[in-house]
Amino acid sequence: MSGPNTSFDPKQVAVLSAEAITAMVATARAAVVAAADLAQLKEVRLAHLGDRSPLALANRDIGALPPAAKAEVGKRVGEARAAVKAALDSRQIELEQARDEFVLAEECVDVTLPAARSPLGARHPLTTVMERICDIFVAMGYDIAEGPEVEAEWVNFDALNVPPDHPARTMQDTFYVTSSESGVVLRTQTSPIQIRAMLDRQLPIYVVAPGRVYRTDELDATHTPVFHQVEGLAVDEGLTMGDLKGTLDHFAQEMFGPGIVTRLRPSYFPFTEPSAELDVQCFVCLGVSVDNPDVPCRTCGSEGWIEWGGCGMVNPRVLQAVGIDSSKYRGFAFGMGIERTLMFRNGVTDMRDMVEGDVRFSLAFGLES
Amino acid sequence: MRAPVSWLRELVEIPADQTGRDIAARLIRAGLEVETVETIGGGVTGALFVGRVVEIEELSEFKKSIRWCQVDVGAAGGGIRGIICGARNFVVDDIVVVALPGTVLPGGFKIVSRETYGHISDGMICSERELALSEEHDGIMVLPAGTPGADAGPIIGVGEEVLDISVTPDRGYALSLRGIARELAISYGAPFQDPGLTVADLRAPATNASPAQCGSEDFEACALFTLRTIVGFDPKAASPQWMKQRLTAGGMRPVSLAVDVTNYVMLELGQPLHAFDLDKLNGPVRAGWAESGSTLETLDHVTRNLTPDDLVILDDDGIIGLAGTMGGLDGEIDADTTNIAIEAAHFAPSVVARMGRRHQLSSEASRRFERGVDRTLAPYASARAAALLIEYGGGQYVGMTAVEAPHEPSVIKMPVSEPGAVAGLRIDAHVVVELLVAVGCEVLSSDDQLEVVAPPWRSDLTDPADLVEEVVRLVGYDLLPSTLPVSVAGHGLSKSQRLKRRIGMTLAARGSVEVLTYPFVSADELADLQLPLTDIRRSKVRLANPLSDQQPYLRASLLPGLLSAARRNLGRGMSGVHVFELGSVFQGENTGLAPRPSVLIRPRDDEWAALNELLPSQPAHLGVVLAGEREEAGWWGPAQPYGWQDAIQTALLIADVIGAVIRIEQGIDPVFHPGRCAEIKCAGVSIGAAGELHPRVIQAWALPARSSALELDLDQLIASAPDVRAAPAVSAHPVAKEDLAVVVADSVTVAAVTQALRAGAGELLESIRLFDLYRGPQVPAGHCSMAFALRFRAPDRTLSADETAAARQGAINRAAADCGAAIRGA
């Protein structure tokens, strides 16, 4: 490389002519356009912008120019390099996009492939219905009470005003433990939990008691020797049968929908007096099917009402057996079968489906019912 | 209780436009559960005519004898019709029931005019069964009288509506037409003719015959005993058609006049009666207690062994009946009986109920006595029966003997405001009194405090609350307001209730399915579980009356039920099953008799405690069974079976869910594979086991190889869970990762090494994870190499290399000391 020239030899720097530079740029642009992929473009970039590229060599020769020409030529070369770089960058983006599109398209999968290698299990719908019922009452301030399934006869019967030789004992066919005289039974109802609640808790008492109960019925489509009930008990000052009715109406609406009401019919239970059968308005036909053969209702058998459970005002004799002053406190109680509730609420047609433990039955319900 | 509507209408003036369904609705509103309203002969469409047989021609050329009859069915039926008939129980001039062409009989059998046996048969002469009136098909119906051409329906009871009522134990009076009619009288506000108060006009004959004597040896058990005597009765006399029809409609089979009359009066009034052949009796007839060892063959031909708890009817020759339950074969009236003694008595409900239970014997009589029969009714009922016997069977009335305990009706006191206060409804005082009077009560005082005497047929009315129910039910439950109690401050779910829900939800979310199995187990199942006799899971709680003698025990473990559920699911085609149950098990023994404290006062604390102590322990358990494929074969690869590690993982999972800490130790449990069983410890106490089931258990339940299970005491696990969980210190400083491998003898568990490493590493250790296990030529025989990834982190600073190295060395040293571990590659 020579020092600053005083004498200028245009031949020596012909490479810096405008024509030459323009030709370099054109060549580079053509190469850029011709680059088919990112690897080729990388080579083009090296060839046309790299240290040994024509424009880089031209740039080096600017130093040999007389000062008067340096500025003009320097500007020309700089613009040429910028133009080539722009072409390269633009092509780079194009090629990257093309590559990405290709690769992502290659990675396409069938998203409908079954993904659940270990699918969801299920809770038993009887459990979730009981929890739903409990939650409704917990929201009203009730606690959830529990009691043993092997129960003293005194708690299951005597204290509930079912004396030993009363026909009401034979209303519920009882499993006796050890012997028929042992005084120990499999509880026939959740009502003994009432007795336990009243003996173990402070007044006032508001409890709901779900549980498993037993009667000596053979299993068939509508009977099972092992089934579930939910019991409710309130003991407080000034409770009325209207309060019982209102509580049941609220319960029915929460379970079956707004506006659904209950109906009480006089009946008999030893532990309540007055006693009533509890019917709930048919939540499917709302009673439209009654005397209307054109629109029969399978849920209520076109009766308009569905038998749901029993209820009443706690018999003062029961309060007496647990030492609650019936001149000050009154109680109401109600109970219903969970299997039966599930049958008419969810359309279960065979009791056996609920007890056999076939997972296909529960799986259809998942974690709710 | 079956109540024909026409019979009810005879006792109470029900408005004419009321149908059986209308009447049923009234009774339901009053608390009598009407289950069905059926129409007798309801399957008959079209007319039935009264016909008179004019001529019978025997046709003998056929295989069976056939009659070609000319029957006059009057102008309305088209005069005389020729009808082919196969029955032979009628003669010329008999009055019969004829169905003419166009009429459809029950079962959709349409009568048409057709040629048969060489004649055009222009109708049918009907039997009772053909009209679905009874099962009677020995011949056609022959009516006592009738005008040809008249509608035969009302005469034979076709079209009669019958209410079938399920009577609750408190409503003994509703086991009679009298009682049901009384409810209707109140409901309709209609006059009621009490058939019980109509004393039959019985005149004793002018002879010196004296009635049979009677007695009661125990007035507590038999407060009233009466005996009426009739002589010269015609044993051939038949029951009138209307009585037979009512008995049939009432669900009883007509037998003979004497039996039919006692049944008829029982249905009408509710008083069971018993008729004896007077000539078979010897000495006074009385109620008394049986002697131990005595026997009685009852009418159902069963020989009953009696005890001194059996109240019997006896004469000087011995026992002739079970009081209020069933008569004995000796002393029964038969086809030759001409002299009759009618027993009408009042037996204590509890005595009859006990006998029924002991002898497993329930009769129309015992059902009524158990529920309470009108205490005063016996003489009225037997008078009614005697009058009917004499009217239809001749005979002469001789007289009645009776013994009766003194009786003082009890007075129930009730504030007149009480029904309204209980109902939450305004009920005026005069309404309260009117309604109580309507049900038959005597109201002695009409001040604010009522003094009420219940009618003798309402033995269920003993307490003020009973009177409240009478008033409120008659006011109508449909008038009750719908109010809510002032809400109370509740506690929400208990810890145990909350955590059980969390466990159930987690297991289900992890693919497990909840099942609710029966808790009944057999001795074979316990043996199949390989349980030694001393194992706590060997059920000791046994049912006295199991549904199946094969399964008399209550489960002390959830596994038998779960294993059977698993087998059932696999048998129904599932490739793998993961089931769980949250439920009570019954452990320990029930010995001795549970106390029966008084129900008149609250039991003392010690009585209550003694009662509870007698019950077996009933802890809540969690059981899980995993069998077959955990992951089915799929596009991702081959199937993966469930194994021991899934069971143990489940135990750890649920402990994590509730924040409890459990320890897994190598365990021995007869239910499980001896080398693949984990003992689960919580707070130092064993609470269960998990792992692969013993091959013999797997074989017994026919489950896939390697089936695994878990069972633990949930009560103990939940009790150990913290009420409040402490927050961790989450450090933002960098982690230092160190891997190390140690060689230990095969007998050393990963848990032991992990514990030693953890203890030796000190507080800086954030986590430790086993990432490789190796056995082979690189390590000595009988040893294995365990490789762990350790992560160290300090809460307040970046750890220096020296600090990390020191902690690592501490871990190695501790493992060497506690487990004989040698650092690999050192």
pLDDT in tens, A271-308: 999 999 999 999 999 989 988 889 999 889 888 999 99
Please judge whether A266 and B602 are an interchain contact, meaning their C-beta atoms are less than 8 angstroms apart.
no
Task: Give the three-state DSSP class for A211.
Answer: strand
Please judge whether A367 and B505 are an interchain contact, meaning their C-beta atoms are less than 8 angstroms apart.
yes
pLDDT score of B746:
93
The CATH number of residue B260's host domain is 3.50.40.10
Place of tokens 């969810």: A346
Query: Is B715's Cβ below 8 Å from some Cβ in A?
Result: no
How would residue B132 be classed by pLDDT, with cut points 50, 70 and 90?
confident
Residue B473 covered by a domain:
yes
pLDDT score of B200:
67
> In chain A, which residue's Cα lies nearest the Cα of B584?
A149
Q: Which of A186-190, A235-239, B142-146 has the lowest mean pLDDT?
A: B142-146
pLDDT score of B193:
84
- Mind telling me how many Å the CA of B259 is from chain A's nearest CA? 27
Domain identity same for A139 and A94? no
- Two structure tokens written together for B122: 């222009």
Please judge whether A313 and B465 are an interchain contact, meaning their C-beta atoms are less than 8 angstroms apart.
yes
What is the widest separation between alpha-carbon atoms in chain B?
131
Domain identity same for B602 and B708? yes
Q: Contact at 8 Å (CB) between B162 and B3?
A: yes
Angle at which helices B464-475 and B429-438 pack, to 10 degrees? 100
Number of Cβ atoms within 10 Å of the Cβ of B809: 14
Domain identity same for B435 and B528? no
Domain identity same for B647 and B707? yes
Chain B residues 341-360 within an 8 A CB cutoff of chain A: 349-351, 353-354, 357
For residue A213, give the H/E element and its range: strand A205-214
Place of tokens 């030693």: B756
pLDDT score of A292:
87
Find chain A residues with C-beta within 8 A of B584's C-beta: 148-149, 212
Which among B720, B753, B771 is the end of a domain?
A: B720
Q: How far apart are CA B10 and CA B264, in angstroms?
A: 15
Mean pLDDT over B94-117 rounds to 88
Question: Is 70 exceeded by the pLDDT of residue A7?
Answer: no
Domain identity same for A164 and A254? yes
Query: Which of B371, B485, B493 is the closest to A236 by Cβ?
Result: B485
Residue A368 covered by a domain:
no
The CATH number of residue B61's host domain is 2.40.50.140
Place of tokens 């209980």: B422
Please judge whether B615 and A120 are an interchain contact, meaning their C-beta atoms are less than 8 angstroms apart.
no
Better-scored residue on pLDDT, B611 or B729: B611
Find chain A residues with C-beta within 8 A of B603's C-beta: 199
The secondary structure of B242-302 as a DSSP string is HHHHHHHHTT-----HHHHHHHHHHHHH---EEEEEGGG--S-EEEEEPPTT-EEEBTTS-
Mean pLDDT over B570-594 rounds to 91
The CATH number of residue A163's host domain is 3.30.930.10
Domain identity same for A66 and A192? no
Rounded to 5 degrees, φ, ψ at B287 are -95, 135
Question: Is 60 exceeded by the pLDDT of residue A10?
Answer: no
Please judge whether A184 and B590 are an interchain contact, meaning their C-beta atoms are less than 8 angstroms apart.
yes
Question: Is 80 exceeded by the pLDDT of residue B766?
Answer: yes
Domain identity same for A320 and A173? yes
Query: Is B21's Cβ below 8 Å from some Cβ in A?
Result: no
Q: Which of A48-57, A252-261, B713-722 has the lowest mean pLDDT?
A: A48-57
Burial class (CB in 10 A: 0-12, 13-18, 19+), B483: middle
- Mind telling me how many Å the CA of A312 is from chain B's nearest CA? 10
Which among B371, B404, B437 is the end of a domain?
A: B404
Which among B404, B422, B445 is the end of a domain?
A: B404
Query: Is B366's Cβ below 8 Å from some Cβ in A?
Result: no
pLDDT score of A1:
44
CA angle centred on B624, ends B619 and B629, rounded to 5°? 175
Query: Is B607's Cβ below 8 Å from some Cβ in A?
Result: no
> In chain B, which residue's Cα lies nearest the Cα of A318?
B599
Domain identity same for A77 and A167? no
Distances in whole angstroms, Cα of residue B352 to Cα of each of B308, B327, B331, B513, B527: 13, 13, 21, 50, 44
Query: Is B599's Cβ below 8 Å from some Cβ in A?
Result: yes
Domain identity same for B272 and B367? yes
The CATH number of residue B652's host domain is 3.30.930.10
> In chain A, which residue's Cα lies nearest the Cα of B578?
A121
Find chain A residues with C-beta within 8 A of B497's C-beta: 144
Residue A299 covered by a domain:
yes
Domain identity same for A268 and A146? yes
Please judge whether A184 and B608 are an interchain contact, meaning their C-beta atoms are less than 8 angstroms apart.
no
- Mind telling me how many Å the CA of A164 is from chain B's nearest CA? 8
- Mind telling me how many Å the CA of B503 is from chain A's nearest CA? 11
Residue B731 covered by a domain:
no
Average model confidence (pLDDT) across chain B = 92
Query: Is B541's Cβ below 8 Å from some Cβ in A?
Result: yes
Query: Is B637's Cβ below 8 Å from some Cβ in A?
Result: no
Find chain A residues with C-beta within 8 A of B614's C-beta: 152, 183-184
Question: Is 70 exceeded by the pLDDT of residue A11?
Answer: no
Domain identity same for A132 and A275? yes
What is the distance in angstroms between the CA of the first residue and the CA of the last residue of chain B? 94
Domain identity same for B92 and B16? no
Residue B524 covered by a domain:
yes
Residue B730 covered by a domain:
no
Question: Is 60 exceeded by the pLDDT of residue B592?
Answer: yes
Q: How far apart are CA B619 and CA A148, in angstroms?
A: 9
Domain identity same for B582 and B680? yes
Residue B725 covered by a domain:
no
How would residue A68 be classed by pLDDT, with cut points 50, 70 and 90?
confident
Query: Which of B168, B590, B611 is the closest to A178 by Cβ?
Result: B590
pLDDT digits (tens, 9 = 90+) for B629-662: 999 888 888 999 999 999 999 999 999 999 999 9
Find chain B residues with C-beta within 8 A of A183's C-beta: 593-596, 614
Residue B537 covered by a domain:
yes
Place of tokens 């120990």: A184
Residue B767 covered by a domain:
yes
How would residue B149 be classed by pLDDT, with cut points 50, 70 and 90?
confident
Mean pLDDT over A5-19 rounds to 63
- Two structure tokens written together for B711: 């069972």
Domain identity same for B535 and B603? yes
Task: Give the three-state DSSP class for B55.
Answer: strand
Domain identity same for A268 and A136? yes
Q: How far apart are CA A277 and CA A263, in angstroms?
A: 8
- Mind telling me how many Å the CA of B732 is from chain A's nearest CA? 35
Q: How far apart are CA B251 and CA A189, in angstroms?
A: 32
- Mind telling me how many Å the CA of A362 is from chain B's nearest CA? 7
CA angle centred on B755, ends B752 and B758, rounded to 5°? 150
Domain identity same for A44 and A180? no
The CATH number of residue B808's host domain is 3.30.70.380
Question: Is 60 exceeded by the pLDDT of residue B232?
Answer: yes
Residue A118 covered by a domain:
no
Question: Is 80 exceeded by the pLDDT of residue A116?
Answer: no
Domain identity same for B573 and B531? yes
Query: Which of B349, B493, B511 is the closest to A120 by Cβ?
Result: B511
Domain identity same for A132 and A56? no
Q: Contact at 8 Å (CB) between B507 and A121?
A: yes
pLDDT digits (tens, 9 = 90+) for A326-347: 999 999 999 999 999 999 999 9
Mean pLDDT over B362-385 rounds to 93
Q: How far apart are CA B569 and CA A316, in angstroms?
A: 49
Domain identity same for A160 and A83? no
How would residue B160 be classed by pLDDT, with cut points 50, 70 and 90?
confident
Domain identity same for B254 and B338? yes
Task: Say how many CA atoms lie within 13 Å of B116 toward its Cβ.
Answer: 16
Please judge whether A265 and B31 are an interchain contact, meaning their C-beta atoms are less than 8 angstroms apart.
yes
Task: Give the three-state DSSP class for B688.
Answer: strand
Q: Contact at 8 Å (CB) between B665 and B752?
A: no
pLDDT score of B532:
93
Mean pLDDT over B185-207 rounds to 79
Residue B272 covered by a domain:
yes
The total domain count for chain A is: 2
- Mind telling me how many Å the CA of B629 is from chain A's nearest CA? 10
The secondary structure of A219-280 as a DSSP string is PSSS--SEEEEEEEEEEEET--HHHHHHHHHHHHHHHH-TT--EEEEEEEETTEEEEEEEEE
Q: How far apart are CA A260 and CA B731, in angstroms?
A: 56
Find chain A residues with C-beta within 8 A of B31's C-beta: 265-268
Which among A79, A106, A133 is the end of a domain?
A: A106
Residue A149 covered by a domain:
yes
Residue-range definition of the domain harbouring residue B31: 2-40+161-188
Q: Which of A213-217, B85-89, B534-538 has the lowest mean pLDDT?
A: B85-89
Q: Which of A306-315, B55-64, B334-343, B537-546 has the lowest mean pLDDT?
A: B55-64
Chain A interface mutation, best of B488, B587, B589, B640, highest count of A Cβ atoms under 10 Å: B488
Residues 6 or more apart whose CB falls under 8 angstroms from that of B735 comprise B766, B791, B792, B793
pLDDT digits (tens, 9 = 90+) for B524-533: 999 999 999 9
Residue A260 covered by a domain:
yes
Closest CA to B552 of A313, A242, A186, A118: A186
Name residue A357's amino acid: G
The total domain count for chain B is: 6
Domain identity same for B11 and B84? no
Please judge whether B489 and A141 are an interchain contact, meaning their C-beta atoms are less than 8 angstroms apart.
yes
Question: Is 50 exceeded by the pLDDT of residue A2?
Answer: no
Domain identity same for B584 and B685? yes
The secondary structure of A173-193 as a DSSP string is PPPBBSSTTSSEEE-SSSTHH
Domain identity same for B352 and B309? yes
pLDDT score of A172:
65
Residue-range definition of the domain harbouring residue A291: 125-363
Domain identity same for A99 and A67? yes
Query: Is B608's Cβ below 8 Å from some Cβ in A?
Result: yes
- Two structure tokens written together for A189: 């109802």
